[in-house]
């Protein structure tokens, strides 16, 4: 049985999805809200991510689904208002915070950005 995680998204995304999938009406009439909006297997999703990354001229490890996930983890834990580690752990679906702590080990551009913020 598939395992799902609830991820908060911006209201704008909900509005856009509602235009296409009529989400608010489905919820209002009490229809099954556990049905996926679209059917897609992992291979198809992986190819889609690769195509989008290629069109955006993004190459290397970051141009993968795993790269997107890693970027999300880094973004959530860095910046002016980093998210609490337990929140990121839940969003990433980790069972142990030790796994999530990997994203605290920023390197390269992420590390430079964090150091530069200290100078502000």
Contacts of 45 (CB under 8 A, 6+ apart): 65
State yes or no: pLDDT of 2 exceeds 70.
no
Per-residue pLDDT, 103: 82
Q: Kindly report, residue by residue over 56-98, the tens digit of the pLDDT.
A: 998 888 888 888 888 888 888 877 788 899 999 998 889 998 9
Q: What span, in angstroms and rounded, lies between the C-alpha atoms of 104 and 5?
A: 22
- Which pTM does this prediction carry? 0.62
To 10 degrees, what angle do helices 85-92 and 65-77 make?
160
Average of per-residue pLDDT values in the chain: 83
Quick one: pLDDT at residue 57? 92
Instruction: Return the pLDDT at 54.
Output: 92
């Amino acid at each position: 049985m598939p395992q799902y995680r609830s991820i908060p998204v911006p209201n704008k995304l909900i509005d856009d999805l509602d235009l296409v999938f009529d989400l608010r009406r489905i919820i209002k009439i009490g229809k099954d809200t556990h049905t996926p909006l679209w059917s897609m297997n992992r291979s198809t999703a992986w190819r889609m991510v690769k195509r989008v990354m290629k069109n955006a001229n993004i190459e290397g490890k970051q141009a993968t689904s795993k790269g997107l996930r890693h970027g999300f983890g880094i973004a959530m834990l860095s910046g002016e208002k980093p998210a609490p580690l337990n929140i990121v752990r839940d969003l990433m679906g980790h069972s142990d915070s030790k796994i999530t702590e990997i994203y605290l080990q920023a390197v390269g551009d992420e590390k430079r950005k964090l150091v530069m913020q200290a100078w502000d």
